[in-house]
Amino acid sequence: MGDHQYKLLVVLLVHYVLRPSMVTSTTCSSRCASTAHHVVHTCPDALAQIIPTCVYETDPAGTCLLSLITDSSLIFDVSIINPPEFVNRLGGYFQFNRNNATQILLELQHPLDVETVYLNTNITTMDIQLTVSCTNDSQTMESVTLNLTAVDDDDNGPSFSQTADSTCLLPAFTASAHEEYIGPLTTHPSGMFVTDGDFVTNNDIVLSFLHGNPPDFSKFFAVDMLTNTINKTSNMSSGDPRDYTFIIQAKEKSAVGRSMVAVLSVGIESGYPAVTMREHKADESVKLVLQVLSATVLVGFSIGFVILIWHRNRRVKPATKQEDTKQSVIECLKSNIIDEAHDAESKFPCAKRTEWTLESIDEEPEQM
């Protein structure tokens, strides 16, 4: 970045970052106005003057929030009761001070910055409840509840997101993209998000290029008005610049029109990044279940195979036995025929069981 860019950056820093915010608060109605028409002398009469009031975050210390007309014999105190998170946070912010012999004032002791008070809480209500107590000469105490509304002034401009450890007064972001990439830029650190700096107001924010280098950056980069992101819009060639620097302006849509700037540096890389394979590890419980299922299937298959072989053997053996029996009967018949032809006595036992063997031939195999 040349001298001209550095000078421009200094001017922007002074104009957008160090420029104080000017806010004029509207006066709360009836604030610090007593409802009493004469001096009261008892706690019930004094507490009857308590009415709701409000406090602006731009109110300076010493601002009067409530006025009571009473004699000096009565002593007043105030404490916060709701929200409970504010009991400690706002301790010492409000106090009764006597203005004169007949008037006592509830005054703001410290400026109440809404964004600071509400930081890191889940509280959304702007209503704060206080207890006002009154003690008379006889030490009898009475109390009532005072409703106080905190008013969030439009006193903060847009705010860019930054990492927690960032110490830069001017937010700075970086991004990289490849020549052929088209789409929103991924910025670091933590993404270049911008919001209204006020707690309640939340004006819409518009992003724009306040400055860019090289000057012809608009051929490749633009602001997406719908998503409020910086997008790369065109392919690049090897002859196009590799480095770009932008001054990004975030401006709120309001009567005041506050704005904030940030620096964005973009580097262009050639080609697409190499695809890297990530190592994936199987879930051990899933592996165990799959192993058990595999073992169960294997055992079931083995048992089924054994049963099938056993069943087939039972069917084959009777058939084989029957065939053997038929063969034996045939041999016996042959033997008997030969013996009868020679008028000789049979030498085989089966010859004496011709009827049995003939019957055996007709027998069916044993059914399973």
Q: What is the full per-residue pLDDT of the chain (368 aa) written as tens digits?
A: 555 555 555 545 544 444 444 343 444 666 887 777 889 999 999 999 999 999 998 899 999 999 999 988 999 999 999 999 899 888 899 999 999 989 999 999 999 888 888 877 888 788 999 999 999 988 889 999 999 998 887 777 788 876 544 455 778 899 999 999 999 999 988 788 887 777 766 778 889 999 999 999 999 999 998 888 999 999 999 889 999 999 999 888 877 788 889 999 999 998 655 444 455 555 677 667 777 777 787 777 778 777 877 777 766 555 555 565 666 656 666 666 655 655 555 554 554 444 444 444 445 554 44
Closest CA to 57 of 154, 125, 123, 201: 154
- Given this model, what pLDDT does residue 70 score? 92
CA-nearest of 236, 231, 233 to 179 is 236
CATH topology of domain 158-269: Immunoglobulin-like (2.60.40)
Instruction: Give which of 146, 30, 23 is closest to 94, Cα–Cα.
Output: 146
What is the H or E stretch that residue 114 is in? helix 114-117
In terms of C-beta density within 10 A (0-12 exposed, 13-18 middle, 19 or more buried), how is residue 42 classed?
middle
**Dihedral-angle region of residue 96 (phi above 0 means left; psi in -120 to 50 means alpha; beta otherwise):** beta
The structural domains of the chain, with segments of one domain joined by +, span: 29-151, 158-269
pTM of the complete model: 0.52
- What is the three-class DSSP state of 64? strand
CA atoms lying within 13 Å on the CB side of residue 11:
9
- Of 202, 192, 186, 155, which Cα lies nearest the Cα of 171? 192
CA gap 364, 319 in Å, rounded: 9
The residue whose two tokens read 């960032």 is: 166
Amino acid identity of 188? Answer: H
Question: Would 29-151 and 158-269 be classified into the same CATH topology?
Answer: yes
pLDDT at 290: 75
Specify the pLDDT at position 24.
38
Instruction: Give the torsion sign (CA, 305, 307, 308, 310).
Output: positive
How many other C-beta atoms are found inside a 10 Å radius of the C-beta of residue 35? 12
Locate the DSSP E strands across the chain.
53-56, 64-69, 75-82, 94-100, 103-108, 127-135, 141-151, 158-160, 172-178, 183-184, 187-188, 194-196, 205-213, 221-224, 229-232, 243-252, 259-269
> Scanning the structure block, which residue is given the tokens 């946070």?
89
pLDDT in the model for residue 264: 93
Architecture of the domain defined by 29-151:
Sandwich (2.60)
